[in-house]
Amino acid sequence: MHNLDAFQQIEKIKSLQGLKQSAIILKLSLESDDPEEFEVAKHAHKDLVDRFYSETSDYVPLSQYKAAERDFEYFLRLIDLAIAYFADGMEATKQVQ
């Protein structure tokens, strides 16, 4: 599936779960009526997407990265898919052993 050992897969999943928690918290600010709070949240969203891509660029195409920048809900779904991808890799690793 990929070239990560079990420890690396666990660390990747933990990192992605932390990123998702940050994104969920950020979602409230993106829905704010306060223009200043919204602008700060937009920049934070971009930072989270950049962090996500830096951690998953070997697995996530640039087109999905760009879509995640434009669409916050898509970004959340992409995080879920990445977590599932690495979790499936954990299961495959267990079955081989």
Q: Give the number of other CB atoms < 10 A from CB of residue 62.
A: 9
Q: How many residues does the chain have?
A: 97
The confidence score (pLDDT) of residue 78 equals 96
The confidence score (pLDDT) of residue 91 equals 61
CA-nearest of 35, 25, 19, 37 to 80 is 19
The confidence score (pLDDT) of residue 16 equals 97
User: Residue ranges of the domains in the chain?
Assistant: 8-96
The confidence score (pLDDT) of residue 90 equals 63
Q: Give the number of other CB atoms < 10 A from CB of residue 76.
A: 15
pLDDT average per 10 residues of sequence, the chain (97 residues): 78 96 94 92 96 93 96 96 86 52
